[in-house]
Amino acid sequence: MKEKEKAIIEAAIKLYATKGFTATSIQEIVTESGISKGAFYLYFKSKEALLIAILEYYFDYIQKKLEVFDSYVLPPREKFSLKLTALFHAMLEHKEFIIMQSREQAIPLNKEVKELMIRKYYEAQMFYQDSLRAIYGKKAEPHLWDMALMLEGVINSYIKLLLFNPDGFKIDELVGYILRRVDSLVDGLQGEEPLATKEKVDELIKKTKAYFLTEGQDIKKMINEMKNTVADLQNREDLLITLDVLEREIDMELPRIPVIQGMLSNLKDEPSLDLYRETIASKYNIKG
pLDDT band at 207 (very low <50, low <70, confident <90, very high): low
**How far are the Cα atoms of 96, 213, 276 from residue 15, in angstroms, in the given order?**
10, 29, 35
Per-residue pLDDT, 49: 84
DSSP string, 218-257: HHHHHHHHHHHHHHTSTT-HHHHHHHHHHHHHHHSSS--H
Per-residue pLDDT, 18: 83
Percent pLDDT > 70 in the chain is: 92
* CATH number, domain 56-209: 1.10.357.10
Of 269, 200, 208, 198, nearest to 233 by C-alpha is 269
Residues with Cβ within 8 Å of 7's Cβ and at least 6 positions away in sequence, in order, are 33, 34, 35
Q: What is the enclosing helix (H) or strand (E) of 131? A: helix 111-136
Query: CA–CA separation, 273 vs 247, rounded Å?
Result: 15
Per-residue pLDDT, 262: 92
DSSP state of 195: S
Query: CA–CA separation, 50 vs 131, rounded Å?
Result: 33
Q: What angle do CA 98, 101, 102 make, to 5 degrees?
A: 80
Residue 261 burial class via C-beta count within 10 angstroms: exposed 0-12, middle 13-18, buried 19 and up: middle
Question: Do 132 and 148 touch, CB atoms closer than 8 A?
Answer: yes
Query: CA–CA separation, 4 vs 36, rounded Å?
Result: 11
Q: How many other CB atoms sit within 10 Å of the CB of residue 245?
A: 15
| Highest mean pLDDT: which range of 36-45, 197-206, 275-284 | 36-45
Per-residue pLDDT, 213: 53
Query: CA–CA separation, 138 vs 76, rounded Å?
Result: 14
Q: Is it the case that residue 151 has pLDDT exceeding 70?
A: yes
pLDDT digits (tens, 9 = 90+) for 101-149: 666 555 555 667 777 787 888 889 999 999 999 999 999 999 999 999 9
Mean pLDDT, all residues of the chain: 86
Q: What angle do CA 219, 119, 91 make, to 5 degrees?
A: 105
**Mean pLDDT across 16-36:** 87
**Mean pLDDT across 222-244:** 86
Query: CA–CA separation, 249 vs 243, rounded Å?
Result: 10
Of 85, 62, 55, nearest to 158 by C-alpha is 85
**How far are the Cα atoms of 31, 82, 229, 267 from residue 237, in angstroms, in the given order?**
43, 62, 12, 12
Question: Do 27 and 12 touch, CB atoms closer than 8 A?
Answer: no
pLDDT digits (tens, 9 = 90+) for 85-104: 999 999 998 888 787 766 65
Query: CA–CA separation, 84 vs 80, rounded Å?
Result: 6
pLDDT band at 214 (very low <50, low <70, confident <90, very high): low
pLDDT band at 263 (very low <50, low <70, confident <90, very high): very high
Predicted TM-score of the model (pTM): 0.68
**Domain 1-45 class, CATH top level:** mainly alpha
